[in-house]
Amino acid sequence: MPDHNYFSNLIWQIADLLRGPYRPPQYERVMLPMTVLRRFDCVLSPTKAKVLAEHERRKGGKLEGDALDTKLNQASGQRFHNHSPLDFEKLKGDPDNIEKHLVSYIKGFSKNVRDIFDFFEFEAEIERMREANILYLVISKFRDVDLHPNAVPNEQMGLIFENLIRRFNELANETAGDHFTPREVIRLMVNILFIHDDKLLATPGTVRKLLDPACGTGGMLAEAQNYLREHHGAAKLYVYGQDYNKRAFATAASDMLMKQVDHNGGGNNVRFGDSFTEDQFAGETYDYFLTNPPFGVDWKKQQKEIQQERDKRGFDGRFGAGLPRVNDGSLLFLQHMVDKFEPVRPAEHKHGSRLAIVFSGSPLFTGGAGSGESDIRKWIIENDWLEAIIALPEQMFYNTGIGTYVWIVTNRKEKRRKGRIQLLDARAVWTAGGSEDNKRSLGDKRRHITNSQIAEIVKLYGRQTDGETSRTFDNADFGYTRVTVERPLRLRYQMTLEDKSRFLDACPHLLDDVQAIDKVLGREPRLDWDAVESDIQDVLAEKGSRWKASEWKLFRNVFTKKNSDGKPIREGWVQSPGEPDPDLRDFENVPLKDDIDAYFEREVRPHVPDAWMDRAKDKVGYEINFNRHFYKYTPPRPLEIIDAELKQAEEAIMRLLREVTE
């Protein structure tokens, strides 16, 4: 029996027919829906006559809509049907009207399949192929590809579809990173996601659920199911996904229908909509989560609804921990998934949840203490949910060369991992080339990790021993207290004619008081504001005047300037050493494990003797500086070696110049 590569190559050859009217990155607009259509045509062929008879019998009856679909699905023996008399063979019978017949044929499917083709926006492609005079040829070529389950079992069909998705996404590498994750990255994530669950998944009758809230074309869902088939054939993994990209959603929904018609062919496992504002799985819990949200996704359009949910529901909603800055919603996806964690109650057969998510470097450290990002990290770490972070090699993704990180988050850590976080540096573990099948670069993707390298990383993860590439830390090692360090305000007072005029322009009714102050205090500069203020109060008391607070504030602003030689202002600051100078305010990030007072005396006081801490403003923050923990110092090369290399370069240049002139 031909393998999935044979059929993938066969379909791939048909794509050459599109050359001209379509650019290669656009081939998937036709080839993916046509592959789906041909598969459904083959799957339904044995029961076609029975469905047509049942449809004829029910025509004009009381049943319609979903109820009629259900009856016809029963007749087809699948979770979908087609009640059109047409099929691929009959479509070839009328070349002049093939576009009308093809549209009619698609409309004969049950609603779940019609919806998929609506999201594919396939009618527009039918018209485009008709105008290019290639529609009949494409239909004819697909008719010759036998995708009947007897020739291509469900599992192999899934592999064919995955292969095509990968190839088409590689062609469209300029945008593929938005919805396509390299298969080797997914395999690594899946291996680590299930690393502790061999015993659980080996239990007969085990059924587990997995969700990807940014599923794109469904690659992560497919790879997770492949893993369980290979390693735990007795267990069932039901996968669910959501995406707001129409074509990506249609592709993922089709993939689920083609591979899993036995238990979730109704199309409900993959749902369309924005996960932030249209949560299609609200109230559900899952055993596993796997996702690669778009890097730096802007959530400005959803900001109002997300903010309202947080303000109204707090931690009863999804975003109680905090909101990141509006130009990067990655951490919103993390909170969205944690909200759907299964509780840990073994007696009720609830075993908690595990989550693997791909991030850029930004969620590790962006935002100081008190920011949305830091508060989310604080929430995750202080609840002891962050198990590990794995740094991947750069240049692993199709549309970006930046470094990426896999976070493993769970509410059921092993005993040895409780209160601890493992950092694993796999940035040096890579092989040149876009993939094992394709050694050339694919857009920005110039590196990949092989199966043996995945196994190497998984072993390092499982051992959890400290070394050059793996280190484990206490949760508190990533936390710090942001302490506000104040220094006293020092002012120089002096009354000048120009300042006097400015003040009286604003407060002309205080002329007599200002004249009295000018006479008593004089025009010489004074560096002790507390003494100046006391003298002025005496003058005003003698005159029986009382100023408003705003007038006092304006007077000080007009007649004083900051001066480092001035005396600290102490008057009226009973609860602190003095009035702080906002311009000299500074902050210290004190590690959570340090005694703050001791740290201050050791690190701050020797350099700033007049400083003090305002502990009422303390904020606890968390950040994960990967480079700090794995930094390797590389000493500069000796100068004599650099000089020798420069001399060699100069000699080579001179030799080339001589060759040109000769």
pLDDT, tens only, 11-57: 888 988 999 999 988 898 999 999 999 999 999 999 999 999 988 88
- 460-478: average pLDDT: 94
Q: What is the CA radius of gyration of the chain?
A: 35
Asked whether residue 59 is domain-assigned, the answer is yes
Q: What is the pLDDT of residue 438?
A: 61
Q: Which residues of 443-472 are buried (b: 16+ CB within 10 A; e: fewer)?
A: bbbbbbbeeebbeebbebbeebeeeebbbb
| pLDDT tens-digit readout, 190-200 | 999 999 888 88
Asked whether residue 198 is domain-assigned, the answer is yes
β-strand partners of 408: 356, 388
Asked whether residue 512 is domain-assigned, the answer is yes
| pLDDT tens-digit readout, 417-432 | 999 999 999 999 988 8
Q: What is the pLDDT of residue 172?
A: 64
Mean of the per-residue pLDDT values for the chain? Answer: 89
SS3 426: coil
Residue 463's pLDDT band (cuts 50, 70, 90):
very high
Torsional sign, CA 179, 185, 186, 189: negative
Q: What is the pLDDT of residue 632?
A: 76
Q: Which pair of tokens denotes residue 393?
A: 């090699």
Query: What is the domain-level CATH number for residue 299?
Result: 3.40.50.150
Asked if the model's pLDDT at residue 269 lies above 60, the reply is: yes
Same domain, yes or no, for 166 and 180?
Answer: no
Last residue of a domain, one of 125, 153, 171: 171
Q: Read out DSSP for 317-366?
A: SS-TT----TT--HHHHHHHHHTTBPPEEGGGTEE--EEEEEEESHHHH-
Torsional sign, CA 196, 202, 206, 211: positive
Q: Which of 600, 372, 385, 594 shows the shortest CA–CA distance to 479?
A: 594
Asked whether residue 616 is domain-assigned, the answer is no
N- to C-terminal Cα separation, the chain: 68
Question: How many domains does one find in the chain?
Answer: 4
Give the contacts of 381 (CB within 8 A, at least 6 positions apart): 421, 475, 478, 479, 622
Asked whether residue 427 is domain-assigned, the answer is yes
Contact 308, 279 (CB under 8 A): no
Residue-number span of the structural domain to which 322 is assigned: 173-478
Query: What is the domain-level CATH number for residue 45?
Result: 1.20.1260
Same domain, yes or no, for 439 and 527?
Answer: no
Same domain, yes or no, for 86 and 167?
Answer: yes
Asked if the model's pLDDT at residue 82 lies above 70, the reply is: yes
Asked if the model's pLDDT at residue 391 lies above 60, the reply is: yes
CB atoms within 10 A of CB 551: 16
Asked whether residue 102 is domain-assigned, the answer is yes
Last residue of a domain, one of 122, 147, 171: 171
Same domain, yes or no, for 264 and 380?
Answer: yes
Asked if the model's pLDDT at residue 376 lies above 80, the reply is: yes
Same domain, yes or no, for 119 and 216?
Answer: no
| pLDDT tens-digit readout, 536-569 | 999 999 999 999 999 999 999 999 999 999 999 9
d(CA 484, CA 312): 31
- 110-127: average pLDDT: 93
Asked if the model's pLDDT at residue 265 lies above 60, the reply is: no
Asked if the model's pLDDT at residue 121 lies above 50, the reply is: yes
Same domain, yes or no, for 56 and 181?
Answer: no
Contact 138, 231 (CB under 8 A): no
Q: What is the pLDDT of residue 662?
A: 62
| pLDDT tens-digit readout, 628-643 | 888 777 788 888 888 8
Same domain, yes or no, for 335 and 199?
Answer: yes
Asked whether residue 486 is domain-assigned, the answer is no
DSSP state of 280: T
Same domain, yes or no, for 518 and 455?
Answer: no
Q: Which of 185, 156, 175 shows the shortest CA–CA distance to 434?
A: 185
Last residue of a domain, one of 538, 562, 586: 562
Higher-confidence residue: 64 or 309?
309
β-strand partners of 424: 390, 470
Using alpha carbons, list the distances in angstroms from residue 363 to 216, 320, 405, 444, 598: 21, 17, 10, 22, 31
Number of C-alpha atoms within 13 angstroms, CB side, residue 334? 30
- 1-16: average pLDDT: 78
Same domain, yes or no, for 282 and 234?
Answer: yes
Place of tokens 């050859």: 13
Higher-confidence residue: 407 or 60?
407
Q: What is the pLDDT of residue 175?
A: 45
Same domain, yes or no, for 205 and 93?
Answer: no
Asked if the model's pLDDT at residue 617 lies above 70, the reply is: yes
Higher-confidence residue: 560 or 260?
560
Same domain, yes or no, for 257 and 235?
Answer: yes
Asked whether residue 113 is domain-assigned, the answer is yes
Same domain, yes or no, for 207 and 269?
Answer: yes
| pLDDT tens-digit readout, 275-304 | 999 999 999 999 999 999 988 778 999 999
Its pTM stands at 0.85
Length of the chain: 662
